[in-house]
Homo-oligomer: A and B are copies of this chain.
Amino acid sequence: MNCEIIAIGSELLTPYRLDTNSLFLTERLNKIGVNVAFKTVVGDRRSHLTEAVKIALSRADIVILMGGLGPTEDDLTREAVADAMGKSVKRDSDLVAQLYSRAAARRSALTANNMKQADILDGAIVLENSRGTAPGQWLDTVWGEHRKLVMMLPGPPLELKPMFDEQCIPLLRDALPQRHIATRTLKAAMIGESAADTRIAPIYTKFKDVETTILAHMGDIQLNLICSKRTPDTAQQRVNELASRIEEELDDLIYSSQGESLEQIVLYYLGMHGSTLSVAESCTGGLVAQRLTSISGSSRSFLGGAVVYSNELKTAFADVPPEMIEKHGAVSREVAVALAEGIRKRAGSTYGLGVTGIAGPMGGTEEKPVGLVFVALSDGKETEVVEKRFSGDRERIRMWASQQALDLVRRKLM
């Protein structure tokens, strides 16, 4: 069954705001075998909205509308759907009572506009909003001789997500023909999208019943496998079969086979070994530490470290000898090693990580161009160092460098 998602709101037609709810809905819909065929964004104009609903009904079996359910004059979703479907609207007395009691609790008056939130389309089921005032609506009806499922959901993600998961998904499961969907997410580090695709396309194209999507972001590849079958076992089996073939091909580039992030995996390995880590960062300027500490509970294995942007701080916080910086330059194999060893000793951690490089766009030379990065990892006995040349802008070079740093730790602990 095909679905169209309509995001409603003039703010979504400015240069400043994107609809992201549709990503959440698509993920949930795909898991129960529903394909999203169209997405539309339309502003708060009744005629535009009514037309958009008619178009969606003409080309999709399931239509999900987000936004425009509030109490203001701009909130026109109820009216537009009623117009488009030729349905009448009734004021629901239970909802009116709810609105009154909420207003009383807040000691505020109910305006006529507020009452709109109690208007329900003929035949619709009310979807309760546990996080806000505007209820949603579910409609399972016939339009132009075809069965149509129409959902009206509030725009704020905090209201939409629980409403969809708790009320729409069970209704959808009952309404849809029974299918079983299996999914797997594999992740790989330090390989680009086209390099990864060249290696695995010959494999996944043979699995025509498994949908494979590649998502690449600055040194991080996510492979999403999804398969829909009559029984859960056959679906899972096909997904697992493809996953193992891809794991065989990409081998140790794969860092996660259940969707965890690289920082989660690094912290998991550290915890498993009872080891700790510290970091001295120059060109990444705190990015490696920030990624690790974004994970709750990271303090068990990550002690912290230093952002040694200036040469003086490389010496002050990681004991890099000034003569070494003078001789080899701050961006050098030697300094990366000294940073890793120095921060390890200073922090008293099992492992020490050092990162130095030229993030650009300034500061590059012919000998040491923008994108040159050294990453070193010390365990107190030996220090491994990797030299890389990344391309792209400052953000991209910093992200690849932080990815390389985390991946070096992963490989050491693997």
Residues of A within 8 A of B (CB): 11-18, 20, 23-24, 26-27, 30, 35-43, 45, 48, 51-52, 55, 59, 213, 215, 222, 224, 278-279, 281, 284-290, 292-294, 296-299, 302-310, 312-313, 316-317, 346-348, 359-362, 394-395, 398
Contact = CB atoms under 8 A, between A and B. Distances in A.
Contact of A308 (B17, B39, B304): B304
B296 A360 contact: yes
Contact of A293 (B38, B52, B285, B304): B285
A26 B14 contact: yes
Contacts of A11: 213
Contact of A309 (B284, B299, B308): B299
Contacts of A395: 294
Contacts of A346: 316-317
The 4 A-B pairs with the shortest beta carbon distances in the complex, nearest first, are A285-B293, A286-B289, A286-B286, A15-B27
Given A16-B23, A55-B55, A287-B293, 17 more contacts: A14-B30, A16-B215, A16-B222, A18-B20, A38-B42, A40-B41, A51-B59, A285-B289, A286-B290, A287-B290, A289-B289, A294-B395, A303-B313, A305-B307, A306-B307, A310-B347, A312-B347
Given A39-B40, A306-B304, A308-B304, A18 B23 contact: yes
A340 to B, nearest CB: 15
B18 A18 contact: yes
18 contacts: A13-B35, A13-B36, A14-B224, A15-B224, A16-B224, A38-B40, A51-B59, A285-B289, A285-B290, A286-B293, A287-B290, A289-B289, A289-B309, A296-B360, A296-B394, A304-B307, A306-B306, A317-B317
B213 A16 contact: yes
A317 B296 CA distance: 23
A96 to B, nearest CB: 26
Given A285-B292, A288-B286, A394-B296, A39 B13 contact: yes
A284 B298 CA distance: 12
A23 B48 CA distance: 20
Q: Is the interface of A mostly helix, strand, loop or mixed?
A: mixed
Contacts of A13: 26, 35-39
Contacts of A360: 296
A395 to B, nearest CB: 7
A313 B347 contact: yes
A24 B15 contact: yes
Contact of A310 (B59, B303, B317): B303
A26 B11 CA distance: 12
Contacts of A307: 279, 286, 289, 293, 304-307
A281 B39 CA distance: 42
Contacts of A43: 37
A309 to B, nearest CB: 4
A393 B155 CA distance: 20
A331 to B, nearest CB: 12
Nearest to A305: B307
Most buried by B among A17, A59, A304, A359: A304
Most buried by B among A284, A296, A310: A310
Contacts of A224: 14-16
Contact of A41 (B17, B39, B213, B296): B39
A301 to B, nearest CB: 10
A15 B23 CA distance: 4
Contacts of A281: 286
Given A294-B394, A296-B394, A306-B317, A17 B286 contact: no
A103 to B, nearest CB: 18
Contacts of A292: 285
A316 B362 contact: no
